[in-house]
Structure 1
Amino acid sequence: MQRTIFNTPLVTPLLRLLARLLIKLHGWRVVCDRRALALKKYVLIGAPHTSNWDGYYFILAALKLGVTPHWLGKDKLFRFPLGPVMRWFGGISVDRSRANNLVQATVDKFNESKSLIVVVPPEGTRRRGERWKTGFYHIARGAAVPVVCGFINFAKKEVGMEKALEMGESLKAELERFRDYYADKVGKFPERYTPPA
């Protein structure tokens, strides 16, 4: 198993204590659906994504909850000298130049793993866009894993993960479910949020 910030002996327990302290000092609350915590493999949506602060609070929440999330990055990010650092922060290198695309590469990673959590920010950027990118949906369908709604809500100072959803055949119907769920979640810069289309 790849060692990351979330599962390194001796270091991670100290980071978990620090995360709990920082969450308390910031006046935030971590919210979690315990059923989602029990899952071994799933796609974890991260939304709304309007600021670099989102990643900071998500890392604190993941440390507090004891989950081991990963994120996907172009193989160029994992070259020397930053490669080991990127992997320690949960990065998985994906070769996007191969014939298979990012979705299939991620499905393959799920199929090769006994346990895997992959974080996907469906907005794809911290700026307002036209619509969510739907790779998360196709990954979940292809790997036969659920999607867990990870969220950040600056209005209530809450961050966490709820609602493990199995993806049905209708992308439009699923996007409507996500639109309803995220309707009351407020990013640091609400005007930058891209709602599901």
Structure 2
Amino acid sequence: MGKISKFIYNKILGWRVRGEFPVLSKCVIAVAPHTSNWDFLIAKLAYASIGRTANFLIKAEWFVFPFNLFFKSLGGIPVTREKNSSLTDSLAAEFNRRNQMQLAITPEGTRKPVQEWKRGFYYIAFKAGVPILLVGLDYGKKEAISLGLIYPSGDYEKDIQEIKSRYKGIQAKKPGNFLL
């Protein structure tokens, strides 16, 4: 799958991967900006082109036959939003059950412009005791860029300032929808 993804990503789409993507058995991958449905395909191809696979969250409503087979093969994890359950706690527990897990999450939580990013990606990593790999999708340069690792300290306000600062200068597919 890696060679096919690399061919599509590099030769057909004209994108490239830049920076160090460390080999980690467990991590949360924060992918931003997220302003278009194309972001999923670009990010998935980028990671596959370097021989890696990552899980991702998807609404449980999409996990019906035959789509469930497709999304599961890509690493999809169905999400059901219930009032009496904590998605953050259940995903942190899932990290603890597995020997390997890389979970890609879009911190903005939507393709629309938002002032405040969702905190789930941060607290999943913090509770699971795993680093956050920051990845920027720069449509201006056609690059998926590793922006380094963050080890959550538990001080969200301090850490989110550092996290967001690393995304400065990254051009979204729809630039007006990416707010830092």
Provide the TM-score with structure 2 as the length reference.
0.91
Moved more, 40-49 or 88-97: 88-97
Task: Structure 1: state its 5+ residue gaps.
Answer: 1-11
Structure 1 outlier segments of 4+, above 6 Å: none
Amino acid at match of 2:17: V
| 2:97 aligns with one of 91, 109, 112 | 112
Task: Give the distance between the partners of 1:136 and 1:110, measured in 2 at CA.
Answer: 13
Matched, 1:17 2:3: yes
Alignment of 1:132-151 (within 5 A): 132-151=117-136
Task: Structure 2: state its 5+ residue gaps.
Answer: none
1:114–1:153 distance in 2 versus 1, CA, 3 Å: same
| 2:60 aligns with one of 72, 75, 87 | 75
1:25–1:83 distance in 2 versus 1, CA, 3 Å: closer
Aligned to 1:79, what secondary structure does the other structure show? coil
Residue in 2 that maps onto 1:172: 157
Residue in 1 that maps onto 2:13: 26
Matched, 1:100 2:100: no
Matched, 1:154 2:139: yes
Residue in 1 that maps onto 2:41: 56
Give the Å deviation of 1:95.
4.1
Amino acid at match of 1:20: K
When the two structures are aligned, how many residues end up with a matched partner?
Answer: 179
Residue in 2 that maps onto 1:4: none
| 2:171 aligns with one of 151, 168, 186 | 186
Task: Give the distance between the partners of 1:150 and 1:65, measured in 2 at CA.
Answer: 14
Moved more, 176-185 or 77-86: 77-86
Amino acid at match of 1:134: R
Matched, 1:123 2:108: yes
Alignment root-mean-square deviation, CA: 1.6
Percent of aligned positions with the same letter in both sequences? 30
Provide the TM-score with structure 1 as the length reference.
0.84
Give the Å deviation of 1:81.
3.0
Aligned to 1:68, what secondary structure does the other structure show? coil
